[in-house]
A = this chain, B = another copy of it.
Amino acid sequence: MIPRYSRPQMTSIWAPETRFRIWFEIEAHALDAMAELGIVPREAAEKVWEKGAFEVERIDEIEAEVKHDVIAFLTNVAEHVGPEARFLHQGMTSSDVLDTCLAVQLARASDLLIEDLDRLLEVLKRRAEEHKLTPTIGRSHGIHAEPVTFGLKLAFAYAEFDRCRARLVAAREEIATCAISGAVGTFANIDPRVEAYVADKMGLSIEPISTQVIPRDRHAMFFATLGVIASSIERLATEIRHLQRTEVLEAEEYFSPGQKGSSAMPHKRNPVLTENLTGLARMVRGYVTPALENVALWHERDISHSSVERYIGPDATVTLDFALARLTGVIDKLVVYPERMQKNLDRMGGLVHSQRVLLALTQAGASREDSYRLVQRNAMKVWESDGALSLLELLKADPEVSALLTPEQIEERFDLGYHLKHVDTIFARVFG
């Protein structure tokens, strides 16, 4: 976790305090279940809830000695609870606590990420509606193609992050399971009903079959999903970086009034936030492969996955949370320049409409070859003028063209509306 790329709500999920609190709840709920089953005295369970407490520093102190985190934790809790603490953890194995705790942490992290996506979607929708009919040039290969609207660009992003949300909901379900099944998952020393009880209390489903651990294909799927979401962030960030480049400048990340990119050059406003998002996406993607490599644990478990998860559990969720929030801020305040969009649209002097003129000439009786020649000779002039000349004006002034089409007929072909007639349809599909 890099402090500057972290937000407190997410980091707090990964704080030792939180982890131990979850451990405590798992152990205490398990005790309740055992009490209900008559395995331990009900008073013991009550005492644990009543007196149970822990101190992070004290646990660290004990762990330094016993070299076992769960035992250190239980010892510390026992210092508060007294002799009734001996009923805690009976028939359980450390992984029952650790893996169920990780499930809770990842589920909570997912909840925050889903909220992040909701906020992003809300902002994307608002800005998409705002620019629903703001014309701008569509580009393939970085080359001008045909007109779209800026709202369509944002609607496209909305649909993409809406898919990401659905994926995240599915990924959350993958990892939100509880396993309390003992040393090798056989429930040899613990009743399966304890697992069911704790699962219910912790908001998890039961793990149908565990070994000592919850199977890691679940976590692999979870982190792979985060990698996909990060890649979508990169896509939108890259779009904005492109739009802000000096020669395009159709949109800009918001600069606060006082903020300066450079002391003397007013144009020097850099898309640093979206560049940063590009880098953060690389990191979240980088965590996917270690998560995939974690799946093939040996036999009933080895502990190679543990160190990996100590890194990527926090790093992937904290970074993605920060990135989503940053992207939301960028879109929320994005400075959009419709005039510049229009100017760029017009930059090619109306060449984007040449195809429609070609068709009109054919329909007016010219051969396909003649039509092509007429359009082409005017288009080339526009092209060579770097957009200084206007295709529309040249066509109107071309006697062979005007012999076939009236000025009005030509102008009609330069109608942006032609390209935008289905924007409503598309918006209805995306926003329902």
User: In the complex this chain forms, how many copies of it are found?
Assistant: 4
Given A167-B221, A224-B228, A425-B192, answer yes or no on A244-B209 (Cβ-Cβ < 8 Å): no
Contact B267 A283 (CB under 8 A): no
A12 contacts chain B at the CB level, 8 A cutoff = no
| CA distance in complex: A232, B231 (Å) | 21
Contact B217 A163 (CB under 8 A): yes
Interface centre among A265, A283, A354 (most CB of B within 10 A): A265
CB distance from A141 to the nearest CB of B (A): 4
Given A241-B302, A272-B141, A300-B138, answer yes or no on A232-B217 (Cβ-Cβ < 8 Å): yes
Q: Which of A292-342 contact B (CB under 8 A)?
A: 292-308, 310-312, 315, 340
Contact A143 B246 (CB under 8 A): yes
| CA distance in complex: A290, B239 (Å) | 19
Given A282-B293, A302-B275, answer yes or no on A372-B423 (Cβ-Cβ < 8 Å): no
A366 contacts chain B at the CB level, 8 A cutoff = no
Contact B270 A143 (CB under 8 A): yes
Contact A231 B143 (CB under 8 A): no
CB distance from A412 to the nearest CB of B (A): 15
Given A307-B283, A383-B267, answer yes or no on A297-B235 (Cβ-Cβ < 8 Å): yes
| CA distance in complex: A88, B180 (Å) | 61
When the two chains form the complex, which single residue of B140, B340, B348, B420 contacts A212, counting CB atoms closer than 8 Å?
Answer: B140
Contact A279 B295 (CB under 8 A): no
Contact B140 A302 (CB under 8 A): yes
Interface residue tally of chain A, by bracket? Answer: 35 or more
CB distance from A409 to the nearest CB of B (A): 17
Nearest opposing residue in chain B for A371, CB measure? B264
Nearest opposing residue in chain B for A279, CB measure? B307
| 22 A–B pairs (Cβ distance < 8 Å), ordered by A | A5-B310, A140-B212, A140-B302, A141-B241, A142-B271, A145-B184, A145-B268, A163-B218, A164-B217, A187-B426, A209-B430, A217-B231, A217-B232, A224-B224, A232-B295, A238-B296, A241-B298, A242-B299, A285-B290, A286-B286, A286-B289, A288-B289
Report A's interface with B, CB cutoff 8 A. 2, 4-5, 67, 137-148, 152, 155-156, 159-160, 163-164, 167, 170, 174, 182-188, 192, 206, 208-209, 211-212, 215-218, 220-221, 224-225, 227-228, 230-232, 234-235, 237-239, 241-242, 244-248, 259, 261, 263-272, 275-276, 278-283, 285-290, 292-308, 310-312, 315, 340, 343-344, 347-348, 351-352, 354-355, 358, 372, 375-376, 379-380, 383, 386, 418-423, 425-426, 429-430
- What are the nearest 5 A-B pairs in CB distance? A138-B184, A279-B307, A141-B270, A142-B245, A231-B295
